[in-house]
Amino acid sequence: MSAQRLLVDVHTHVYLPRYAAFLRTRSSVPRIFTRPSPESGKPEERLLILDDEPSSGRPIGAQYWERDEKLKFMDRHAIDVSVVSSANPWLDFLPASTAHTLATELNTDLETYCSAGPSLSDTLKRLYGFGLLPLVPGATTASLISTVEQIAALPHLKGVIMGTRGLGNGLDDAALEPVWAALEAARLVVFLHPHYGVDKHAWGDKENGHVLPLALGFPFETTIATTRLVLAGVFDRYPGLRVLLAHSGGALPQLSSRLASCVAHDPLVAARLQHDARYYLGKLYFDAVAYGAEELGFVSDAIGRADKYASAGASAAASSAKGTDGTAQKRLGAQRMLFGTDHPFFPPLSESEKWKSVVENLEAIDGVYGWDEADKDAVRGGNAIALFNLGS
């Protein structure tokens, strides 16, 4: 099959057996615990990872840790390649020395998970991964840089997944500068993923299960973290840094002109950035985990106009976006969007051959007005092959 026609899942998670075993030893969140199933009375494992989620947590099973289950899921949905990442909350809750040791071990585990898995061809495996950095309060620069170096040396790890807390002060913390520099130099992709949501008081006291934190809290967390990165000038200082945003960047595309206006009216920040805030959308990558064609189309439109907002003379590419019609702009934006599933989260509630979360994301790509077949192929897999430099 041509590399341009592959289906590549860039947003797909695992709790590696070592991590799941660790969660089973814990008595506070995050933890995995066993309870009798309310239906059958048989013991069943449950996952509790969010501070304020219902105390019954969520069902968890082999889909979260068994490589064969990941491959079965991929086969069932015709996914050729997955770039697998540890699921939240990563190592965020651990003391620095434990986080460093566990990161090192889990990175080696993930390399084995990928390398011992099947291949599609002599040069292309079915599984690649994002490693983990020990990003916790008190982590030393030396520990972070040595873990970047470890990941860069593992052939199947193509990036790192990280949450939004950094060393405890967010991702615009000056202490992270050496980390951005090292990730840029190592050409590792940063997959920025939420975990904490926003202030739980925003949700009121009605019981709405996981809906509000997952549907709104997660994407707003990503929106805020990415905006802080932009405002700190990180993309000006590290133009080669490649950051992939979970859930299509949350609300950032929708709010980017408002953001640009607020920056332009604020002398403190306006002087700090080299470009209009909208420009930075064109420096980012967005997964296509938005579940709707209109949303994907909108995001691609917002990304595709980014070069129009380069400061004068800054970008030769700027002129290519200027004067294009809306369709050309959306097609340009599609070059930075990548298919994902969020597996094994969002399993179907009743027996079904295919997962609704996957089918909806594929249908969304297929239905974007203004994208042609080449654009859709790029979003389904071609962009991932290029971004992660797979198969060469």
Residues near Zn ion (CB under 5 A) are 342
Contact 164, 197 (CB under 8 A): no
Q: Which residue is it, tokens 């969002």? A: 346
Q: Which of 223, 276, 253, 255 shows the shortest CA–CA distance to 336? A: 253
Q: How far is the CB of 53 from ligand URA (least distance, A)?
A: 9
Ordered DSSP codes for 247-267? GGGTTHHHHHHHHHHHHHT-H
In terms of CB distance, is 309 or 345 closer to Zn ion?
345
Q: How far is the CB of 90 from ligand URA (least distance, A)?
A: 11
Q: Which residue is it, tokens 């990730």? A: 183
CB atoms within 10 A of CB 32: 21
Q: How far is the CB of 92 from Zn ion (least distance, A)?
A: 15
Q: How far is the CB of 168 from ligand URA (least distance, A)?
A: 21
User: In the sheet where 58-59 sits, what is the strand order?
Assistant: 31-36, 43-48, 58-59
In terms of CB distance, is 36 or 348 closer to ligand URA?
348
The tokens of 130 are what? Answer: 């994002």
- Binding partner selected for residue 107 from ligand URA, Zn ion, none, CB under the kind-specific 5 to 8 Å limit: none
- Binding partner selected for residue 214 from Zn ion, ligand URA, none, CB under the kind-specific 5 to 8 Å limit: ligand URA
Query: Parallel, antiparallel, or unpaired for β 285-287 and 43-48?
Result: unpaired
In terms of CB distance, is 276 or 342 closer to Zn ion?
342
Strand partners, 35: 44
- Rg of the Cα atoms in the chain: 20
Nearest-CB residue for Zn ion: 342
Distance in angstroms (rounded) separating the CA atoms of residues 161 and 164: 10
- Binding partner selected for residue 220 from ligand URA, Zn ion, none, CB under the kind-specific 5 to 8 Å limit: none
Q: Within a 13 Å sphere around the CA of 113, how many CA atoms are in the beta-carbon half?
A: 31
110, amino acid identity: L
Compute, in degrees rounded to 10, the torsion defined by CA atoms 283, 137, 181, 275: 40
In terms of CB distance, is 187 or 210 closer to ligand URA?
210
In terms of CB distance, is 330 or 343 closer to ligand URA?
343
- Binding partner selected for residue 357 from Zn ion, ligand URA, none, CB under the kind-specific 5 to 8 Å limit: none
- Binding partner selected for residue 88 from Zn ion, ligand URA, none, CB under the kind-specific 5 to 8 Å limit: ligand URA
In terms of CB distance, is 213 or 282 closer to ligand URA?
213
- Binding partner selected for residue 198 from ligand URA, Zn ion, none, CB under the kind-specific 5 to 8 Å limit: none
Q: How far is the CB of 195 from ligand URA (least distance, A)?
A: 7
In terms of CB distance, is 13 or 70 closer to ligand URA?
13
CB atoms within 10 A of CB 239: 10
Helices 293-304 and 326-334 pack at an angle, to 10 degrees, of 100
Strand partners, 82: 9, 127
User: In the sheet where 81-86 sits, what is the strand order?
Assistant: 8-14, 81-86, 127-132, 157-162, 189-192, 243-245, 285-287, 337-338
Q: How far is the CB of 213 from ligand URA (least distance, A)?
A: 9
The tokens of 284 are what? Answer: 């980012």
Q: How far is the CB of 145 from ligand URA (least distance, A)?
A: 27
The tokens of 348 are what? Answer: 């179907």
In terms of CB distance, is 73 or 309 closer to Zn ion?
73
Residues in the site for ligand URA, rule: CB under 6 A?
13, 49, 87-88, 214, 342, 345
Q: How far is the CB of 85 from Zn ion (least distance, A)?
A: 8
In terms of CB distance, is 191 or 238 closer to Zn ion?
191
- Binding partner selected for residue 96 from ligand URA, Zn ion, none, CB under the kind-specific 5 to 8 Å limit: none
Q: How far is the CB of 298 from ligand URA (least distance, A)?
A: 22
- Binding partner selected for residue 9 from ligand URA, Zn ion, none, CB under the kind-specific 5 to 8 Å limit: none
Nearest-CB residue for ligand URA: 345
